Amino acid sequence: MKFCWSTLRVRNLGNSIKFYTEIVGLKVESRFSAGPETSIAFLDGGGAKIELLSDGLDRQTEVGGDISWGFEVESLDKTLQILREKGIKIESGPIQPNPHLRFLFIKDPDGMKIQLVENIKA
């Protein structure tokens, strides 16, 4: 069995695509209409994909507070600089639980908790 993708219902597909491409660094693999008011975008997550789904309904999207997506970054310091330049609020961190790992948390436009992780090579 292979994990294929995770779906996130979003309020504004354009805002979410901008966040995941400009902040997280993912690439849009495909984007298409799936009905009169439904649009879907698949983003390449480096193996598994992320499906962003917008159905045009004006409702609050909710993501469980204990759910997060983690993404590896080359340099947490460079990422922090980009986040500050883009006005992205740091929810917590940076945290360094051991000499080989640093991470922080931010939220996407719909409140999904995103963990950005730097694996420190010895």
pTM for the full predicted model: 0.84
| Same domain (yes/no): 74, 121 | yes
Task: Tell me the pLDDT band of 31, cut-offs 50, 70 and 90.
Answer: very high
Specify the number of domains making up the chain. 2
> How remote is the C-alpha of 19 from its chain's centroid?
7
| Same domain (yes/no): 49, 72 | no
| Same domain (yes/no): 47, 77 | no
pLDDT digits (tens, 9 = 90+) for 44-85: 978 789 999 998 766 566 666 778 889 999 999 999 999 999
Instruction: Pick 64 or 107 by higher pLDDT.
Output: 107
117: nearest Cα among 103, 98, 100: 103
For residue 96, the domain's CATH number is 3.10.180.10
CB atoms under 10 Å from CB of 33, counted, come to 9
- How far is the C-alpha of 115 from the C-alpha of 104, rounded, in Å? 6
- How far is the C-alpha of 121 from the C-alpha of 75, rounded, in Å? 11
Look up residue 110 and give its amino acid. Answer: D
| Same domain (yes/no): 32, 68 | no
List the domain range (segments joined by +) for residue 73. Answer: 64-122
- How far is the C-alpha of 97 from the C-alpha of 25, rounded, in Å? 24
109: nearest Cα among 86, 93, 92: 86
